[in-house]
């Protein structure tokens, strides 16, 4: 009798045994096919992960598979390998990993209708738009990459904003297409896909192309995923989950904006798509290119640290690619010496006025949406605090609402203080809505466009805004990090930065790295064509080393400085970390669970050697959506030692009796501690 092992999306570390469907005999070709199976009182979709033979008497209690779904080809062995590595490294149930990587439509028993997508059929590259002439730097980099052959190698492409990294990607894709192979291009955010998709389709109009991200309909995502697995799609562009897409003829992986924190999944299986992409390239023995103007410190250390083996090869583009384009001039405005008008300095207002006169565009960058961060009563001290979180409700004056940006709770803006009745409650601080209102008062003739998560909630809304900007149907842009990276607006020559100082003193030790990357990226929006660009940063700390390095546009020296600080402090990438997090209705329950988990470390034989376990503490945002949250940090200078402990410790944690409603998860390589 055949025993069929089926992977299900169940938080358990094993597969589930079933009998073959009545009257059927499965073959090895059925490994990797989806199957509909009874589980409890419901039917579930799983993936066939093993087929074996056992005596009939041992199989009688097993329930039979209801149906093997043969509408699609079997999932390939390298997909199994990638899922297994992800489950092992991030300590997640393998079935949960496997099923979570499939499009939602394929996790249901009714398969998606087969339909050919536009530009899917062809495999051969066709020359569409004529490629631009390469700079000497671009030509040299392409020769180095292609000269190294088609085997595994990780290339870290560090290029200043506007230096032509995308053209490098396109030339490499063209080469891979000519060899009859596929390319996977990963980008961190949905808003970055339209511009990349447009350039790929323009360059290769007759080549099979598929896009994969969460804003696609379920049917469209399934069709594109199937086109990639069948080989019809030769170029696949997607966000982080696309790293799991089966690609039978994969020849190249590109990770654009590789430093971006969005590549790390923050719920469910908490994986890093960038790191999985490197593993996948290694297993497939193909090259991978990690591109960024501000590489992550982990990647930078892998490419430059002379004290350790250099795992990555560093390539640099130091100049902008456009013939007359130059890096923007970065200047610091000392707000201690300037009288501000609604938070805007005279120098910044003068810069905007100059651009309006010249018919050029300005961008005012403030990474805080809403009208103001909080509403306060100066008389009694009341603040608009969220009842469900340890956070404040943000003032959204446009629709007179107070909103929590953590749990989504909202209420109307009160006409008077709810505690003392004082009618003079005031918004404190500034968000994009307040800056937009101030600019409208200063420049009533200007066309002002605010772009943040409130105004651009979907890809279609973003595309409409982007078209307006490129058509110069807007004079002043006000935006958050949505506008900071990857976009090319030829008419934009001035960038003003507000409110960046708070990150200089954040409790998060990664904050300086993230702030520098964010400011370097947003500064790069200015002067990308033949018009000179300028960046004005309002700050009370103009002499801070971060701003000084930014003024020089000197990422390498700043990165080396941060790496030396981390080496001395024993922080990643010179240490390896994992976080055990717990949330419950009461903080005492979460902390008690973590304390019990810490005690279980002693039961893990000798695996705790060379691993330091910290005490449980509340998280920075200690309460979210009526749930108290706490964490326990585990750290080691050895990745192998940490992984050895985590394998045993996770099993030991599973034996702890938890209070009702308590949830916990283990995160490896956390991005926020």
User: Which helix H or strand E contains 198, and what residues bound it?
Assistant: helix 193-203
State the chain's maximal CA–CA distance in angstroms: 87
Q: How far apart are CA 169 and CA 153, in angstroms?
A: 15
Q: Quick one: 480 and 604 in the same domain?
A: no
- Look at residue 672 in the predicted model and tell me its pLDDT: 86
Q: Own/partner pairs for 460-467, CB < 8 Å, 24+ apart? A: 462/191, 462/194, 463/194, 466/194, 466/195
- Look at residue 487 in the predicted model and tell me its pLDDT: 78
CATH of the domain at 35: 3.40.1440.60
Q: How far apart are CA 366 and CA 429, in angstroms?
A: 12
Q: How far apart are CA 31 and CA 549, in angstroms?
A: 54
Task: Please indicate, yes or no, if residue 126 is contained in any of the structural domains.
Answer: no
Q: How far apart are CA 326 and CA 529, in angstroms?
A: 8
Q: Quick one: 435 and 287 in the same domain?
A: no
In this model, does residue 116 exceed pLDDT 50?
no
- Look at residue 543 in the predicted model and tell me its pLDDT: 94
> How far is Cα of residue 322 from the mean position of the Cα atoms in its chain?
29
pLDDT in tens, 480-525: 988 887 678 889 999 999 999 988 988 889 999 999 999 999 998 8
Q: Whose CA is closest to 345, among 519, 536, 503, 478? A: 536
Supply the pTM of this predicted model.
0.93
CA angle 495, 351, 555 (to 5 degrees): 35
User: Which helix H or strand E contains 313, and what residues bound it?
Assistant: strand 312-317
Q: What is the 3-state secondary structure (H, E, C) of 559-602?
A: HHHHHHHHHHHCCCCCCEEEEEEEEECCHHHHHHHHHHHHHHHH
Report residue 114's pLDDT band, with 50, 70 and 90 as the boundaries: very low
First to last CA, the chain: 51
Which of 291, 317, 343 lies at the terminal end of a domain, its last residue? 317
What is the mean predicted confidence (pLDDT) over 134-162?
Answer: 95
pLDDT in tens, 199-258: 999 999 999 999 999 989 999 999 999 999 999 999 999 999 999 999 999 999 999 999
CA angle 182, 486, 437 (to 5 degrees): 150
Q: How far apart are CA 275 and CA 240, in angstroms?
A: 11
What is the mean predicted confidence (pLDDT) over 645-663?
Answer: 93
- Look at residue 60 in the predicted model and tell me its pLDDT: 62
Q: Whose CA is closest to 498, among 396, 340, 367? A: 367
Task: Please indicate, yes or no, if residue 324 is contained in any of the structural domains.
Answer: no
Highest mean pLDDT among 114-118, 396-400, 443-447: 443-447
Q: How far apart are CA 291 and CA 159, in angstroms?
A: 7
Least confident piece of the model among 172-186, 314-328, 579-593, 613-627: 314-328
* Cβ-based neighbours of 577, under 8 Å, separated by 6 or more: 633, 634, 635, 642, 668, 669, 670, 673
> How far is Cα of residue 584 from the mean position of the Cα atoms in its chain?
27
Q: Quick one: 245 and 278 in the same domain?
A: yes
Which two three-digit tokens encode residue 333?
């405005």
Report residue 57's pLDDT band, with 50, 70 and 90 as the boundaries: low
Q: Quick one: 555 and 617 in the same domain?
A: no
CATH of the domain at 580: 3.30.70.360
Task: Please indicate, yes or no, if residue 115 is contained in any of the structural domains.
Answer: no
Alpha-helical segments (H) within 319-475: 346-358, 432-442, 459-470
For the chain, give the mean pLDDT. 92
In this model, does residue 589 exceed pLDDT 90?
yes
- Look at residue 117 in the predicted model and tell me its pLDDT: 42
Which two three-digit tokens encode residue 520?
């370097």
* Cβ-based neighbours of 202, under 8 Å, separated by 6 or more: 128, 129
658 neighbors 664 (Cβ within 8 angstroms): yes
* DSSP strand pairing (534-539 vs 492-497): parallel
Task: Please indicate, yes or no, if residue 487 is contained in any of the structural domains.
Answer: yes
Q: Quick one: 472 and 451 in the same domain?
A: yes
Which two three-digit tokens encode residue 75?
């999932």
Any idea which residue has 């993936």 for tokens? 47
What is the mean predicted confidence (pLDDT) over 659-664?
Answer: 92
Q: Quick one: 462 and 544 in the same domain?
A: yes
Q: How many domains does the chain have?
A: 4
- Look at residue 463 in the predicted model and tell me its pLDDT: 87
Task: Please indicate, yes or no, if residue 175 is contained in any of the structural domains.
Answer: yes
Q: Quick one: 263 and 308 in the same domain?
A: yes
Alpha-helical segments (H) within 1-122: 56-59, 77-90, 94-100
* DSSP strand pairing (235-238 vs 209-212): parallel
What is the mean predicted confidence (pLDDT) over 608-620?
Answer: 93
Which two three-digit tokens encode residue 471?
């058509």
**Residue 105 DSSP label:** G
What is the mean predicted confidence (pLDDT) over 607-636?
Answer: 94
Q: How far apart are CA 144 and CA 142, in angstroms?
A: 5
Q: Quick one: 219 and 81 in the same domain?
A: no
What is the mean predicted confidence (pLDDT) over 8-26?
Answer: 91
Instruction: Look at the alpha carbons of 272, 276, 277, 282 in this order and tell me if their dihedral is positive or negative.
Output: positive
- Look at residue 115 in the predicted model and tell me its pLDDT: 46
112 has which bridge partners?
none
Task: Please indicate, yes or no, if residue 154 is contained in any of the structural domains.
Answer: yes
Q: Quick one: 300 and 186 in the same domain?
A: yes
- Look at residue 305 in the predicted model and tell me its pLDDT: 86
- Look at residue 644 in the predicted model and tell me its pLDDT: 94
Which of 82, 101, 120 lies at the terminal end of a domain, its last residue? 101
Length of the chain: 673
Q: Quick one: 518 and 630 in the same domain?
A: no
Q: Whose CA is closest to 325, among 569, 533, 558? A: 533
* DSSP string covering 26-44: --GGGTT-EEEEEETTEEE
Task: Please indicate, yes or no, if residue 397 is contained in any of the structural domains.
Answer: no
Task: Please indicate, yes or no, if residue 590 is contained in any of the structural domains.
Answer: yes
CATH of the domain at 557: 3.40.50.300
503 vs 85: which has the higher pLDDT: 85
Least confident piece of the model among 395-399, 446-450, 614-618: 395-399
Which of 294, 317, 340 lies at the terminal end of a domain, its last residue? 317
Q: Whose CA is closest to 137, among 112, 152, 159, 153? A: 159
* DSSP strand pairing (534-539 vs 329-334): parallel
Q: Quick one: 47 and 168 in the same domain?
A: no
- Look at residue 608 in the predicted model and tell me its pLDDT: 76
> How far is Cα of residue 626 from the mean position of the Cα atoms in its chain?
26
Instruction: Look at the alpha carbons of 252, 91, 40, 662 in this order and tell me if their dihedral is positive or negative.
Output: negative
- Look at residue 108 in the predicted model and tell me its pLDDT: 84
Domain of 353, in residue numbers: 329-369+431-565
In this model, does residue 161 exceed pLDDT 80?
yes
Q: How far apart are CA 124 and CA 266, in angstroms?
A: 38
Q: Whose CA is closest to 1, among 19, 22, 24? A: 19
Q: Quick one: 559 and 652 in the same domain?
A: no
- Look at residue 121 in the predicted model and tell me its pLDDT: 47
């Amino acid at each position: 009798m055949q025993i069929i092992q089926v992977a299900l999306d169940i938080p358990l570390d094993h597969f589930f045994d079933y009998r073959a469907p009545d009257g059927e005999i499965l073959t090895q070709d059925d490994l990797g096919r989806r199957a509909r199976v009874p589980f409890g009182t419901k039917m579930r979709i799983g993936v066939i992960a093993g087929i074996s033979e056992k005596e009939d008497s041992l199989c009688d209690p097993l329930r039979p598979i209801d149906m093997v779904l043969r509408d699609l080809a079997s999932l390939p062995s390298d997909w199994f390998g990638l899922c297994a590595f992800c489950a092992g490294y991030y300590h997640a149930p393998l079935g949960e990993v496997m099923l979570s990587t499939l499009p939602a439509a394929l996790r249901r028993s009714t398969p998606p209708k087969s339909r050919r997508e536009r530009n899917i059929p062809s495999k051969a590259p066709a020359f569409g738009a004529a490629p631009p002439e390469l700079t000497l730097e671009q030509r040299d980099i392409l020769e180095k990459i292609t000269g190294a052959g088609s085997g595994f190698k990780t290339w870290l492409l560090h290029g200043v904003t506007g230096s032509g990294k995308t053209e490098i990607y396109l030339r490499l894709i063209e080469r891979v297409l000519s060899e009859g192979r596929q390319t996977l291009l990963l980008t961190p955010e949905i808003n970055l896909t339209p511009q990349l998709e447009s350039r790929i389709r323009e360059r290769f109009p007759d080549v099979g192309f598929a896009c994969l991200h969460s804003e696609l309909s379920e049917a469209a995502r399934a069709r594109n995923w199937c086109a990639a697995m069948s080989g019809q799609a030769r170029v696949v562009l997607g966000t982080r989950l696309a790293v799991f897409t089966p690609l039978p003829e994969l020849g190249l992986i590109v990770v654009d904006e590789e430093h971006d924190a969005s590549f790390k999944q923050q719920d469910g299986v908490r994986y890093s798509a960038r790191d999985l992409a490197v593993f996948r390239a290694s297993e497939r023995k193909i090259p991978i290119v990690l591109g960024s103007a501000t590489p992550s410190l982990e990647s930078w250390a892998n490419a430059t640290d002379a004290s350790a083996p250099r795992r990555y090869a560093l390539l640099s583009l130091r100049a902008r690619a456009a013939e007359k384009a130059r890096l923007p001039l970065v200047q610091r405005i000392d707000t201690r010496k300037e009288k501000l008008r609604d938070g805007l300095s005279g120098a910044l207002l003068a810069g905007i006025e100059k651009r309006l006169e010249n018919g050029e565009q300005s961008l005012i960058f403030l990474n805080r949406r809403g009208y103001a961060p909080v509403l306060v009563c100066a008389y009694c001290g009341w603040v608009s605090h969220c009842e469900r979180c340890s956070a404040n409700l943000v003032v959204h004056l446009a629709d007179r609402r107070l909103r929590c940006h953590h749990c989504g709770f909202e209420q109307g803006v009160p006409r008077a203080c709810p505690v003392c009745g004082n009618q003079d409650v005031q918004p404190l601080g500034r968000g994009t809505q307040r800056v937009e209102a101030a600019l409208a008062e200063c420049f009533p003739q200007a066309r002002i466009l605010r772009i943040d998560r409130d105004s651009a909630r979907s890809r279609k809304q973003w595309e409409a805004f982007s078209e307006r900007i490129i058509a110069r149907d807007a004079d002043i842009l006000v935006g958050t990090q949505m506008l900071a990276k990857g976009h090319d607006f030829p008419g934009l020559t001035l960038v003003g930065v507000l409110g960046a100082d708070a990150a200089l003193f954040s409790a998060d030790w990664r904050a300086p790295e993230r702030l520098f990357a964010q400011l370097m990226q947003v500064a790069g929006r200015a002067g990308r064509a033949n018009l000179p660009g300028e960046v004005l940063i309002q700050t009370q700390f103009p002499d801070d080393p971060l701003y000084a390095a930014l003024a020089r546009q000197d990422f390498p020296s700043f990165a080396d400085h941060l790496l030396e600080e981390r080496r001395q402090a024993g922080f990643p990438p010179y240490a390896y970390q994992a976080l055990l997090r717990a949330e419950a209705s009461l903080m005492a329950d979460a902390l008690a669970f973590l304390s019990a988990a810490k005690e279980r470390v002693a039961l893990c034989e000798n695996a705790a050697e060379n691993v330091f376990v910290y005490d449980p503490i509340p998280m920075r945002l200690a309460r979210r959506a009526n749930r108290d949250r706490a964490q326990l940090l585990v750290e080691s200078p050895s990745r192998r030692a940490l992984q050895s402990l985590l394998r045993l410790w996770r099993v030991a944690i599973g034996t702890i009796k938890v209070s009702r409603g308590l949830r916990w998860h283990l995160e490896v390589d956390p991005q926020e501690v």
